[in-house]
A and B are shown apart, each in its own frame.
Chain A
Amino acid sequence: MKPITYLEPETVDEACEQLDRHGHDAVVLAGGQSLLQILKRRLVQADYVVDITAIDDLHELGKSDESFRIGAAVPYVDIVQHPVARSQIPGLAEAIETIGDHQIRCRGTFVGGIAHADPQGDPPIIATALDAEFHIASVDGTRTVSASEFYAGLFETDLNQGELITHVEVPLSEDNEISTYQSFTRRMGDYAIAAVALSTSLSNDETMTDPRVVVGAATHGPTRLSSVEDSLDDSVLTDDIIDEAAETARENVDATDDEVATAAYKSHLVGELTRDALESVR
């Protein structure tokens, strides 16, 4: 790693000032599980590393009004142990449990995974399915952006230089709202080859309303499958409906081709994962 100056602000304002002052030369450090690998390999050059984990406000985790708030300094392990996350947002816990390994989850943060925007990363995919909102701060003030607006393609996001995501809010479901995360990896803990996240309202007679079906890892960033959503909206979850949704997902996903797997194989996986997702909420 090249020499760095390590900065440890104690407030969001102080962090924003440092990011503003050092511009291109500064980078945010959260859990460091991705950033430190990149700095070691010199894929990113940064003279100033702004560690945001000493900022008390960013350690918030829990229910706030109608949503579940996750601060930027909260590691993955704390989220999956939180009773509200476990009981009301099962898809979030399922997604986090597939990330890396226990050591990575002890340090890595969900918000870091959101900001890192790796197309193979799990947080962007589940955040999009849950319709999460990202709260962003800079010296110019604060703003909020939805997950779907945030991701703009391969490693591209709506985050500008000098901005910091302070926390993420996941809307808390009505009682019948349900979510799940299904992914396929070659080995436990690997990055996914394909993933499907689903969130929906489900009535007692298994009728779905407003389903959100998001595919990722197989695509250039998280992508909603609107054709599948349309086929499921206001439908009862029967075998036929599930078969049809899986087939629609397979046909409509715009999967990437790479050295790991062909687009045809990934499309097949997306179909099967869509089926798994629907069967798991049934």
Chain B
Amino acid sequence: MSQQNPTTTVTATINDSEIDATVPSRYLLSDLLRRELDITSVKRGCETGKCGACTVLMDGDPVKSCSVLAAQADGTGIETIEGLDDELGEIIKNAYSRNHGLQCGFCTSGFLLSTKSLLEDVSDPSRDEIRERLQGNICRCTGYTRIIEAVEDAAVRYDPE
């Protein structure tokens, strides 16, 4: 290849701020967020698309940032837990805290963002819907029961209109 390490310029909105970064084209979205922008709440667990610790919202959809190229985020809006400061975000964070939906916290950013996407789509999900939508996030500490209770609690407190 002629060029040693080709680069790409990514323009995106990350938690309401505009960024414009030139990174190696092989950078994953998780590399852009962690290495370039220092948003270390985005965790790297498996890097193979299985654990969900690296989940962020991309134009509102939950995606595993280890399985998206930074270049593919060009022109999109990305949300990490730093952006979870709106009403729904606060409700979700408080519900996880109140229900002991976390222990070590490594998986938590991913769970919070998957929960936000779920409650935006379905404000009153059943237990099965919660399990189904959180299936792409793995937690090694809680045993999931507390997490599901946290989501149910958040759903009760959240009133979309």
Which residues of A does B touch, CB under 8 Å?
1-6, 8, 25, 29, 32-33, 36-37, 39-40, 47, 49, 51, 53, 77, 100-104, 106-107, 188-189
Contacts and interface: CB of A to CB of B under 8 A. Distances in A.
Interface string B52-71: 10010000011110011101
A280 B68 CA distance: 37
B71 A51 contact: yes
Main secondary structure of the interface of B (DSSP, over half): mixed
A188 B71 contact: no
Nearest to A1: B26
B69 A103 contact: no
B49 A33 contact: yes
A32 B114 contact: no
Contacts of B24: 3
A102 B133 contact: yes
B116 to A, nearest CB: 13
Interface of B: 1, 3-6, 8, 24-26, 28, 47-49, 52, 55, 61-64, 67-69, 71-72, 114, 117, 131-133, 135-136
Contact of B1 (A1, A3, A103): A3
Contact of A37 (B5, B48, B72, B131): B48
A33 B67 contact: yes
Nearest to B3: A5
Contact of A2 (B26, B48, B63): B26
Contacts of A40: 47-48
Nearest to B5: A3
Residue of A1, A6, A107 with highest tally of chain B CB at under 10 A = A6
Contacts of B52: 101, 103
B26 A32 contact: no
Contacts of B68: 32, 36, 107
